[in-house]
Structure 1
Amino acid sequence: MMSKTQLPVAGEPAVLASVASLARIHLEALNLRTDSARDPIQDAIEAYRDGLAAYNSAPGEDDETIDRTYGPPLDVLTDWEQPAQTREGAMAALRLALEEERQFKGLPLSLSMLKAALAYFESEGAAAADNGEQKNEPLAGTAEGRDA
């Protein structure tokens, strides 16, 4: 069970609205389309942060409280397999991964957020190479940058 973290408190209605939008966000990410300039990963991260804030302000620390607050957004982010769609989304994923690593060392959430951000930056590098710019090499330790 996750220990409570001090975050700004969001009301439960805001959390419920965020959780209700997770299915749409996840489907948009799977279809690799968005109806706005905002990256779906940013919405999912915001829902997770709202859920954490609600959990921190809730009286209980049981599974039911987790299921009502940060649990569903955490599941969405942990299972995230699509690249970030924008630079802002990639940066949000990196920030969240860094925060999670600092607080909880080795959660699966960090890995999925790092993959989403890296995939964005790698595709950005490929696009730059297609335009005649210098392409960045894959990072060491990734599947593409692993030593043989």
Structure 2
Amino acid sequence: MRNIFILNGPNLNLLGEREPDIYGHTTLDDIRSWCMADAAELGLTIDFRQSNFEGEIIESIHSARHEAAGIIINPAGFSFSSIAILDALKTFAGPKIELHISNIHQREAIYHKSLVSTTATAVMAGFGAYGYRLALRAIAEMTT
């Protein structure tokens, strides 16, 4: 089976509570459950992780180099500031989908320039929590 890493950055553990007018009421546990069910249907396994710490996300990307066929990453606030995460993602040879729950291009200017986008195979933004399900289907196609 193909293994997909789904990596989630800072504050995403607060989904459902934090700014529901932007991010909705769906929790990260809800998203994990959806992804587990969808992965089984798609013949994938997933390694679903969240961290508020940049170094832990980098370590997950390093692990993915040897354990994953693809990465879906919602780097959250690190999208716009972490050259270290960008550099780690550059070392991963498989497909990488950058995912944002909100449409970052409709938000304040600080959210418009993602460093991660420069190495991502594809970028998805604005689909809400459902974007994870779409990204999983897309990466299933990319890794066949």
TM-score, normalised by the number of residues in structure 1:
0.34
Rg: which structure is higher? Answer: 1
TM-score, normalised by the number of residues in structure 2:
0.35
Instruction: Name the structure with the higher strand share.
Output: 2
Instruction: Name the structure with the higher helix share.
Output: 1
